[in-house]
Amino acid sequence: MLDIKFVRENPEIVKQNIRNKFQDQKLPLVDEAVALDKENRTIKQEVEDLRATRNRLSKEIGKLMGQGKREEANAVKAEVAADAARIEELSAREKEVEAELHKVMLQIPNIIDPSVPIGKDDSENVEVQRFGEPKVPDFPIPYHTEIMERFNGVDMEAAGRVSGSGFYYLMGDIARLHEAVLAYARDFMIGKGFIFCVPPFMIHGNVVEGVMSQTDMDAMMYKIEGEDLYLIGTSEHSMIGKFIDQILPEASLPQTLTSYSPCFRKEKGSHGIEERGVYRIHQFEKQEMIVVCKPEDSMNWYEQMWKWSVELFRSLDIPVRQLECCSGDLADLKVKSCDIEAWSPRQQKYFEVCSCSNLGDAQARRLKIRVKGEDGRTYLPHTLNNTVVAPPRMLIAFLENNLREDGSVRIPEVLRPYMGGKEELR
């Protein structure tokens, strides 16, 4: 969410940013916000003036009563009563205006970084660089659930009977591999100096509003019926929410946390064959990294965070590439974002496995997270998040890139301690 002062002073910049995101339907929101802000400030000024007048008249009443001028005092009392009624009327309107303004401001996109490429949607995202050589073996790669089924490692049919489509049972070595990847990712980030955390898996509505846009919320979140609780779509939601309404000492920055959680998503809409199986599902588990830092440090953290994703995937012998997200593909709170995509030998193309984002001070402003500087002044920190690893989707890339012609799956050296020393799956 933008600072209303910035919108008031730079409406054309805000409008051009909306155009750059190809959301022209939101252009009227800028003028609406400016008008509501003006009305709000006018109300506040009138209320302030009326209160000052009331205080002055109240003193005058005492003087008049002391002088025995009861009739004049009563006339002043009537004026004070009229002012009090007007203050009450204005205060009620002030609350309405502030609520309307808040609702409008939540819909205005964050200002994107100048380095973000301009494009309408994800088809115009820009490949930046590749890491590792993408290979296509000279034997056919089965669909990922077929590979898992060879190890009796997945049961989609039973999950369908129990929970419906978009769910799965992982079993045996595949389930163990799933947990091994998560454990390795956890220790990988601890090794980078991050504090490991297991957060709440449900959060209040005000936290949801603070960490994501209304559009994303409606498309993703499951609400608990009859309660002000939502199942998290990613642990970033509760991890950033951890700092709601807090004033952090500057010396405590950066806050670097890595969190494990299950994630729950509606995943509305129809999807192609490549997004079935365990690719696009309603529940999965993930290791996440989040950073809360000084504004001047956030871009350096952004660059470091996506590079760690590359390092982790390359340690598992999975070729990846970095894809810069264009303006039209950025969620409204994001300043800059990139995807790390893994190579699929079967599809002979890359697919998303990580997403790294710098959200500037948008989440901090919504959640009222502040930092107290050494000079005693407070300011808003920047927040960032990035996927460390998100199986079972990541397992698709792992199995395809480590599959051998005889049907066995090689276990990379870094993962063997988490697999009981196994060097392969057969």
User: In 3D, which of 29, 33, 42, 46 has the Cα closest to residue 5?
Assistant: 33
Q: How many residues does the chain have?
A: 426
The active-site residue, picked from 265, 321, 366, 370, is 265
In DSSP terms, 255 is beta-bridged to: 292
Q: Is 355 a catalytic residue?
A: yes
CA 313 – CA 302 distance, rounded (Å): 18
The 378-379 sheet, strands edge to edge: 247-249, 370-372, 378-379
Q: Which residue has 């004033």 as its token pair?
A: 247
Q: Which residue has 């034997």 as its token pair?
A: 139
Contact 116, 326 (CB under 8 A): yes
Q: Phi-psi bin for 172: left (phi > 0), alpha (psi -120 to 50), beta?
A: left
Contacts of 189 (CB under 8 A, 6+ apart): 196, 258, 287, 289, 308, 388
The active-site residue, picked from 355, 365, 366, 400, is 355
Return the structure tokens found at 58. Answer: 């109240």
Q: Is 393 a catalytic residue?
A: yes
DSSP per-residue string spanning 84-113: HHHHHHHHHHHHHHHHHHHHHHHHSPPPPP
CA 230 – CA 240 distance, rounded (Å): 15
The active-site residue, picked from 130, 280, 410, 416, is 280
The active-site residue, picked from 100, 267, 352, 408, is 352
CA 147 – CA 181 distance, rounded (Å): 17
Q: Is 176 a catalytic residue?
A: no
Return the structure tokens found at 409. Answer: 């799956």
- Eight-state DSSP code of residue 132: S
Catalytic residues: 265, 280, 352, 355, 393
